[in-house]
Amino acid sequence: MDSELVIGDWSILRRDRDTLCGGVLLAARTPLALRRRREYETDSGEDLWASFTWQDSIVPPDAYHLPLEAEVSYESARCSNIMDPSNINPARDWNFNKCNHEQLYSLLSETSWDSVLLATNVPEAISAFYQIIYDIFNNCMPKKHRSKSVTKRYSVWFTPEITKDIKRKVTLHGIWKRSKHHDDYKNFSDLRNSLKHRVATAYQIYTKRVENKIRINPREFWRQISRLRSKGGFEPSVSYCGDSYTGAAAAEVFAKFLPACF
């Protein structure tokens, strides 16, 4: 009962499961005021969304301490725009595995480098050098074809068995929701509890392996970072003075705005 949970100036939000036990609870103390956001909650029954307002200011606002307002918009993956990989320029996304090496060697040996040698400054020479290299690459190898379809991405520390059981858990949850039988719920619950333990263990093993690789082979660590970035994803945007910014531009705008608050 809510009366058993409410203590003094604490406010409680709860979302109970359809079973006899379990659920999600969120507690906040004054001056935080909670408001439940049911429009963001999923059908799984395992999440509870809320927004909050701070009734009293931490520091009274003045001309030198303006309030910092942050606005976050929520979109599902289906209606979000897919973000291209942040570290890949499509114009230079060559497939080196399909390179014509004989043609590459021939062009490198026959190319005139006068534009580099006759440059009047270092930036001009560098620009001319890369322009020659990129033109040769365009003649020797095709570009990569990257899929634009939305695919489910799992954490890098998930093993194939964990990924398989996560999909199986979704199936078992659907079976239980339709049947409401105790045995079906037990199958779902047992697998869920097992996954929680296995995911935590896999994460510990992964972090230890990454830490060891940083010391032993840092190049492999940065290769993994590059692989993760090349998968793309969904990138939030920041609005400032009526314009929208993403990626590095969003960070620069935030850095420009933040000093005005102090």
Q: Is residue 147 part of a domain?
A: no
DSSP string, 122-159: HHHHHHHHHHHHHHHHHHH-PBP----S------TT--
pLDDT in tens, 33-65: 788 888 777 777 778 888 877 656 556 667 676
Most confident residue range from 79-93, 185-199, 204-218, 237-251:
185-199
Q: In terms of domains, do 9 and 71 share one?
A: yes
Q: Is residue 241 part of a domain?
A: yes
Number of domains in the chain: 3
Q: Is residue 152 part of a domain?
A: no
Q: Is residue 60 part of a domain?
A: yes
The pTM of this model reads: 0.36
Range of the domain at 197: 160-229
Q: In terms of domains, do 170 and 224 share one?
A: yes
Q: In terms of domains, do 15 and 71 share one?
A: yes
Q: Is residue 56 part of a domain?
A: yes
pLDDT band at 244 (very low <50, low <70, confident <90, very high): confident
Residue 163 CB neighbour total at 10 angstroms: 13
